[in-house]
Amino acid sequence: MSALKILVIPGSLRSGSLNAKLAAVVSYELAQADVEITRISLGDFPLPIYDGDLEKKSGVPKQAINLKRMIGSHHGVLIVTPEYNSSLPPLLKNAIDWVSRVQEGHEARGQVFRDRAFAIASASESRLGGTRCLEALRLVLSACRATVIPSQLALSFANDAYDDRDRLKHPADIGALQSMVKQLIDFSQHMM
């Protein structure tokens, strides 16, 4: 059987991003389980703000098609995103909106969301750890008819969550991470 491939997408471009850091930590955990990881930056898929007139005039941008193909070449996807005003940041929402408009060959529009498992995680300096953003993201992905695994990771007090070797130091966080990773692998394997 070919290796299980998981795509990791941080929802922040910021240097020193707490979410990019968490994405790296979860990627390491996945790699320990022999999963083939691709970690991308949405900065490599620059997209205009979605506009129906633009789509009508020029079609879906090439970068949205590239991102859709990148997602489509993996069995599972992990999104690690900041919370902005209790929801998901425009960078991530815009990328999802554009990808949901891609239709290639015989597949249905937005089909790429339906054929693979998605896991969601968030890091925040606040006590809630981005929980409200995860609720919003789960709703958005569910609207795209994605399979979003039940386990999720909301890393609270993310500025104080790591030891001096950049590993999660609180047992509750480690447990949530391991449970999410295990479930993402299980769901992704079933969808291979």
Q: Quick one: which of 111, 124, 151, 152 contacts ligand FMN (CB under 6 A)?
A: 124
60 binds ligand FMN (CB under 6 A): no
State how far the Cα of 116 lies from the Cα of 18, in Å rounded to an integer. Answer: 26
Q: What are phi and psi of 106, to 5 degrees?
A: -90, -5
**Which range binds ligand FMN by CB under 6 A, 11-19, 52-60, 90-98, 101-109?**
11-19
Applying CB under 6 A, the span of 16-24, 40-48, 52-60, 167-175 interacting with ligand FMN comes to 16-24
Q: Cβ 162 to ligand FMN, closest distance in Å?
A: 13
Identity of residue 132: R
From the list 10, 164, 30, the residue with the least C-alpha distance to 88 is 10
Q: What are phi and psi of 38, to 5 degrees?
A: -120, 120
Q: How far is the CB of 190 from ligand FMN (least distance, A)?
A: 30
The structure tokens listed for 147 are: 């399979």
Interface with ligand FMN, residue 86, by CB under 6 A: yes
> Which one among 9, 17, 95, 151 touches ligand FMN, defined by CB under 6 A?
17
Kindly state whether residue 12 participates in binding ligand FMN, applying the rule CB under 6 A. yes
Q: Does 82 bind ligand FMN (CB under 6 A)?
A: yes
Q: Closest distance between ligand FMN and the C-beta of residue 159, in Å?
A: 8
List 36, 39, 63, 84, residue binding ligand FMN (CB under 6 A):
84
9 near ligand FMN, rule: CB under 6 A: no
The reply to whether 110 sits near ligand FMN by the rule CB under 6 A is no
By CB under 6 A, tell whether 156 contacts ligand FMN. Answer: no
List interacting residues with ligand FMN (CB under 6 A): 12, 14, 17-19, 82-86, 124, 126, 130
